[in-house]
Structure 1
Amino acid sequence: MSIQRAILLAFISLTVVSASLMTWMAYNRSRHALENEIRRNIDAQALSAIRQIDTLVFERLVNLYGWSQLAVMQDMKVDDVDKRLSRFLQNMDKAYAGLYETLMVTNGSRVIAASEAGLIGQTWTARPAWLQLSIENVPVYVVRPEIRGERAVMEMRAPVKDVFTDKPLGHLVAVFNWEKIVDVLNTVVQSTGRVGLLIDDSGNILAASDSYDEAKMPGVSDYLGVTLYPGDGSGGYGLFGLERMLTGSSGKGKGDEGAGKHWKVIIIDPLDQAFRPVQQLLTKLLLLLLFTIAGAVIIANRLARAISRPVQELTALTRKVPDQGEVSLNEVKGFNETTELAQSFSRMLKELDVSRNRLVQMSKLAAVGEMSAMLAHEIRNPLGILRSSAQLMGRRKDLTDRDREMIGYITTESDRINDLVTNLLERARPRDPVMESREMAPVITHVVSLMEARCRKKQVELTVDLPDFPLIAAYDHDQMIQVLFNLLLNAIQAVKEKSGRIQVRLYRK
């Protein structure tokens, strides 16, 4: 197999595997994150719905109990001859518009008073109670929701007793509009395409959102009595199928004595709808993967040619060595192949040529080194005499402070020049800077004093702005003097004579 084909296959394989793995990871993570978010949202919707339903039903039960304890209920004993009880029921029906289908009072077999005048005097039969609850030790009976006419209702009744004898007089009956429960479910799942269900402990559907019918399931008028799951503990949703749905539920009721403990809300989201954004993302990722593979093939082909061509050209050049004696690698264009270059005779010839040039350069540097050593020796002799003379002059007692300062400059600068000569001799192994924490102001003052004479000679104004507080920095003392000296020297050379101005300022940044 040629190098070009090997590189082509390796590059394409690596690109395809990497891109496919990244696509799979991106899809799985997106799906997992979306599923978790949907489940949290579904659970939140279910909890919101069950709380609203429990509150709505609990308030109706409290109303029923409260009304049954009113004094107007005692008019049952005289068959509501003055219609005061009927007017009360009509007023309550209007006050709670839409919540009740009918409010009526019966003596057990006949309607005595009602919010609808047409019901008064009709026969009434108590339906079997689905739930028996207790409010302030007064029993309240709830009939399972059912279809009456074209609407779903739930009948509730509370006993009415004689306030004097405590004997039962009859019942206060409220027919609750069960469509209000459907409205709660519709509000919770609106615009989401999800299905909201209220089910009892046996898995029977009590209420369903309108999307229940839109999902081509039994119609809203038929959902009562439909079993969502068998109730055998398997947890399977036979009507829908868990493999096609994401579900969330909440069954927190309004207390141990409330109706809420007997039902729970389930929110169902079909998988094809829930994961539609992820499926669209997967389609885009697959298209991107195809474009990536196509681009990888084009790039790999060009790269393989660019890598293999220098090897082929280099091999051809090495065959010319016996005839030409010398070849140039400049004729090879493209990437360098380490193995071929190391083994080729052409590279070896170039390295020998470089080594020869290096030896010549080293000979020149050696000559420069010898000359530098001689020059350093010649500089040190007068420099030593100059320093000794300055020290002898410094012993005189008639010197002014300015004279002693100038002599000190001669001594320190002689030492610095001597250090420069030493550094020149040791250029093959330069000295590492000795970093010490020092104040910056003294070294600046020292260098400025050395340069004042040059500034006066050129008639350049030199000013120094130093802070009142010490500024500490880590630096090499000798190297810092040399740096500042060079900076000021450059500045003096750069400014105009007689009109130039140089300012040295030290501040904390």
Structure 2
Amino acid sequence: MAFLLASLVPAIALTFLAFVKTQQAMQAEIEQTLLVQAATVSADIDKMLFERFQNAITWSHLEVMQDIYVKDIDKRLSAFLTELKTGYQNVYRNLYCTDMSGMIVASNKAAAIGTIPVAQQPWLHATLPGGRVVLDVPDGSTMNIRSSIPSKFGSGNLGELVLSFDWTQIFQILDQAAKDGRMVAIMDHNGKVIAASRELRQQGFLMSKKFLPWLSNIPKSGVEIVDGSPLHTSRVIIGFDRSHGYENFSGLDWTTIVIQPLDQALQPIHRLAIIFLGFLLATIVIATWISLWVANNIARPIVALTAFTRRFINEKSLPPSPPVSSGEVGELTTTFVQMVEDLDQSRQHLVRASRFAVMGEMAAVMAHEIRTPLGILRSSSQMLKREPNISDEARELIGFIESETDRLNRLVSTMLDGTRPRLPSFQLTNVHTQIHNCILMLAAQTQTKMIQVEESLQSSDPYCECDAEQMTQVFLNLLMNALQVLPEHGKITVTSRSETEKIIIEIADNGPGIAKEERDKIFDSFFHKREGGIGLGLAVVQQIVSAHGGDITVSESRWGGALFRISIPRKLSEQS
């Protein structure tokens, strides 16, 4: 759990921090986009109006405009206005000139000549270096731009040049800017919406002051989040920019606003939040999986090692080794198991040494107490044997007494040798020669039972420092045990091989073998399964091998019989 938390907490913190930073960056980008769009639309409209105003002032000062003085008798001025209308295509709806009485004296529309247009209240005026223009209130489709025509025949003015500017040109600019759910509007200095994109026009915002509260006490340009109740929504984000003018034109103090519902504007951030949430969940799943995998790979070997130790403590015997993993935990497991095995081996040696010590004392006492009467029996039998008048039957009985006393005496000697073996005398010895000699010693017995003995001595270096006499006793004991349990035509193999600083000898047979439950006891003193045995032979063998710093184990041969494996170090003189 601690490892999992250590993995998840930094991942969650980093993901949250990344989301916050990304959210801030995206919101700043959205705000910057709205602001730039508002400034761009405002600049485009200022440029367009500047060009229209410049047209009005320039054309009003042309010489052809003086034809108003003669009522445009030859229609030269009307023809000129028609050419302008055609050249500018849809920029202007109508071009006409009026005299001082307000009557149209020249127009691109012949039917309008001689009429008096409906008087409109001046709305705004704009001053340029070349003159001044007056603007009428837009009627939704046109906005009249008026420029006075100065008289060259005297002081004063001859009349006015009126350009009916197609106001839908402004609508087209706003409609093009109104994309991705955004709406665009232009407000005059009084807060009235004088132009708007299609959605706002359809909702009736044109010529209204519903957006006036948004522009109260705000700077000339910027971005604000405001109440969206005029648009029947909760909150909106607006980018606004007040007219900066164009070249020598100072502007009309109009404000362009780009409107977007806040929820819609923040949709990319919401999508980002979902992406980050998915990323966080994926991170949690991956981190959890990795943590559980790592914890399992660490905890499972530790749990197995703990169970191994607990069984060793409770059962007082070495249980099967736990599986070894890789890395430091595997190295710890291997080292700990080796330590436990060494402890178990030391315990077994200590128990065995204690047994042999007790047995040695008992054997010494028994040898003293038994040999004394055995000696008396043997002396008495020898004396009786010298009697001249003894019968043949008596002599036979006396022979039985002598043979049995000799057998008992040898048994006592065997017990003494098994319980108090002498220390080995180490000399460099050819183990292969020792094995071969032992096989030759038992040749008569193997021939009697027609048992096949095979030698496969493959060790590249058969020499090691050992006690030749004691090692001969080891090999003879193992070979004789095999001979005693094998039936006729049995088989024994003796092999050797080299390992690092060791020589390995294996003696295998095809006899009945040793049951698994008896293999741990086979080297205990007085444990035997063969009739007539006393259970000291293998105990002596193990003691000799241990005295040489080696190890002996028993397992099953490939034929199902017994397999004894002896491991002897090549050099042990200094350690001994």
TM-score with structure 1 setting the length: 0.57
Q: How does 1:475-486 map to 2 (within 5 A)?
A: none
Which residue does the alignment assign to 1:179? 168
Measure how far apart 1:106 and its partner are: 1.2
After superposition, the C-alpha distances for 1:436-469 in whole angstroms (9 at most, x for unaligned) are xxxxxxxxxxxxxxxxxxxxxxxxxxxxxxxxxx
- CA–CA distance in 1 between the matches of 2:98 and 2:310? 119
Cα distance in 2 between the residues matched to 1:18 and 1:74: 83
* Alignment equivalent of 1:34, drawn from 14, 19, 26: 26
Q: Is the 1:321–1:346 contact (alpha carbons within 8 Å) kept by the matching residues of 2? A: no
Aligned-partner Cα distance in 2 for 1:220–1:94: 34
Cα displacement (A) at 1:60:
0.8
Q: Which moved more, 1:82-91 or 1:172-181?
A: 82-91
**Could you tell me which residue of structure 2 aligns to residue 55 of structure 1?**
47
Note if contact 1:89-1:114 (Cα within 8 Å) is conserved in structure 2: yes
Match of 2:193?
205
Match of 1:289 in 2: 280
Instruction: Say if 2:184 and 2:257, in contact at 8 Å, map to a contact too.
Output: yes
Give the Å deviation of 1:65: 0.8
SS of residue matched to 2:152: coil
User: Post-superposition shift, 1:175?
Assistant: 0.9
1:264 partnered with 2:255? yes
The correspondence for 1:223, drawn from 206, 224, 233, is 206
What residue number does 1:102 align with?
Answer: 94
CA contact (8 A) 2:144 2:165 kept: yes
Q: Which residue of 2 aligns with 1:233?
A: 217
Task: Quote the offset at 1:348 in angstroms.
Answer: 8.1
Residue in structure 2 matched with residue 20 of structure 1 by the alignment: 12
- Per-residue CA deviation, residues 354-383 of structure 1 (Å, 9 max, x unaligned), is xxxxxxxxxxxxxxxxxxxxxxxxxxxxxx
Q: How far apart, in 2, do the equivalents of 1:347 and 1:20 lie?
A: 44
Q: How far apart are 1:155 and its partner, in Å? A: 1.0
Query: Which residue is 1:81 aligned to?
Result: 73
SS in 2 for 1:247: strand
- After TM superposition, give the deviation of residue 85 of structure 1 in Å: 1.6
Counterpart of 1:143 (choices 132, 136, 144) is 136
Question: Contact 1:199 / 1:206 at 8 angstroms: preserved in 2?
Answer: yes
Following superposition, the deviation at residue 75 of structure 1 comes to 1.7
Amino acid at match of 1:35: Q
Q: Does 1:278 align with 2:266?
A: no
CA contact (8 A) 1:157 1:173 kept: yes
C-alpha separation in 1, matches of 2:241 and 2:108: 36
**Shift in Å, 1:180:** 0.9
Secondary structure of the equivalent of 1:155?
strand
- Offset of residue 198 of structure 1: 1.9
What is the 5 A alignment of 1:352-363? none
**Change in 2 beyond 3 A, CA 1:270/1:222:** closer
Aligned to 2:544: none
Tell me the equivalent position of 1:443: none
How far is the alpha carbon of 1:352 from its aligned partner? 13
Match of 1:428 in 2: none
Evaluate the alpha carbon distance shift between residue 199 and residue 322 of structure 1 in structure 2; reply closer, same or farther with a 3 A threshold: closer
Cα-to-partner distance string for 1:43-67 (whole Å, 9 max, x where unaligned): 3322322222111111111111111
Q: Post-superposition shift, 1:24?
A: 2.3
- Tell me the CA shift for residue 157 of structure 1: 0.5
Deviations 1:159-199 (A, max 9, x none): 1232121122221111100111122223344x543222222
Unaligned runs of 5+ in 2: 219-223, 346-576
2:159 maps to which of 153, 158, 170 = 170
CA deviation string 1:69-93 (max 9, x = no partner): 1222222222222222211111111
Greater RCO between the two (CA within 8 Å, min separation 6)? 1
Is the CA contact (8 Å cut-off) linking 1:105 and 1:170 kept in structure 2? Answer: yes
In structure 2, the residue matched to 1:120 is 113
CA deviation map 1:223-279 (0-9, x unaligned)? 123432225426756535997333323335235963624113222333333333332
Asked if the contact 1:203–1:228 (Cα under 8 Å) also holds between the matched residues in 2, the reply is yes
Answer with 255-264 or 175-184: which moved more: 255-264
Residues 311 and 329 of structure 1, relative CA distance in 2, 3 Å threshold: farther
| Structure with greater helix percent | 1
Contact 2:243 2:253 in 1 (8 A): no
Q: Distance in 1 between matches of 2:31 and 2:291?
A: 45
Q: For residues 31 and 321 of structure 1, what CA distance do their matches in structure 2 show? A: 60
Counterparts of 1:331 and 1:221, CA distance in 2: 84
TM-score for both structures, normalised by structure 2: 0.51
